[in-house]
Amino acid sequence: MEPVNVGVINVTGYIGVDLARLLHQHPGVNLVSVTGRSAAGQKLGEVFPHMAEVDLMIEPDLGDVELAFSALPHGASAQSVVECLEEDIKVIDISADFRLKDVDEYQQWYEVTHPAPELLSEAVFGSPELNRAEIAGARLVANPGCYPTCSILALAPAIREELVDLDIIIDSKSGVSGAGRSLKLNTHFAEANENVSAYALGGHRHMPEIRQELQVLAGGQSVSLTFVPHLIPMTRGMLSSCYARLRKRVTLGEVRELYREFYRDEPFVRVVDTAPQTKQTLGSNFCLIHPVIDPRTERLIVISCIDNLVKGGAGQAIQNMNLMLGLPETTGLDGLAVYP
């Protein structure tokens, strides 16, 4: 099979350039086009010196490709997706524009009018562990957000197997790269260093995305979700602590076996025996999951961690691309975590 030509729309963000890094070493594709209006006309290696070996010019518009990744902000990304589909280019959208199925909910949380609501029902939520067959046949995949990826994978076995009540609490912590590359006061070194802060206490935009997919796992039942994100002083990494009351008495061994069976054939999910740490996933496409039981409260506690830019962004997008192109799912993604 000849390598497929692919491109990245808006390579100048953190996930955009991580896509370029991973695609450059991917044996099944040729990265032939990267765009970025603010950096158009510059070499990729001039904007990002660590990419100096990639001989590509940043252009204002996408070149001749068969599949594109749109890493534009919400609103703008949807318009780019429409243009790609009109040219028969398959698209993986990194933004939130096609994750939510309810257009009114999207417009409530993102405060913009959706430019292509007719595509919401077609877009496949790009969680390979849950929607593999649908992704393989899709022309438009909505790449999940980082918080949803970390949280949904942590809770999926327990909810699908009706192990827990549907009143759920998720406490998540993310490195500052999750806030994007644009300058913001709270991500300045002096503000974020030696500091941990909760934010979006009135409701984070990833919350409806998490709830939507948990309700799918629950067979359409309503899920009551409390989601609190935190910013922590590190560049990459995400750790989620998820809590739900058990519906029946089970042993820890039974819970671990349920989780291991659920993820038995998944190449990038590991059910581990000790609480995972974010350094154990740094730079990799792995999600580490550790379920435990609190016998005093009869609650299931699930700890999960990912690299927010890889499994929470660029790596998962390439995992979806592999499925869409009929390539082995792990192609270009089998690198281990970087330590220390």
Catalytic residue among 84, 146, 150, 242: 146
Q: What is the 3-state secondary structure (H, E, C) of the chain?
A: CCCEEEEEECCCCHHHHHHHHHHHCCCCEEEEEEECHHHCCCEHHHHCHHHCCCCCEEECCCCCCCEEEECCCCCHHHHHHHHHHHCCCEEEECCCCCCCCCHHHHHHHHCCCCCCHHHCCCCEECCHHHHHHHHHCCCEEECCCHHHHHHHHHHHHHHHCCCEEEEEEEEEEECHHHHCCCCCHHHCHHHHCCCCEECCCCCCCCHHHHHHHHHHHCCCCCCEEEEEEEECCCCCCEEEEEEEEECCCCCHHHHHHHHHHHCCCCCCEEECCCCCCHHHCCCCCCEEEEEEEECCCCEEEEEEEECCCHHHHHHHHHHHHHHHCCCCCCCCCCCCCCCC
Annotation marks residue 146 as catalytic: yes
Name the residues annotated as catalytic. Answer: 146
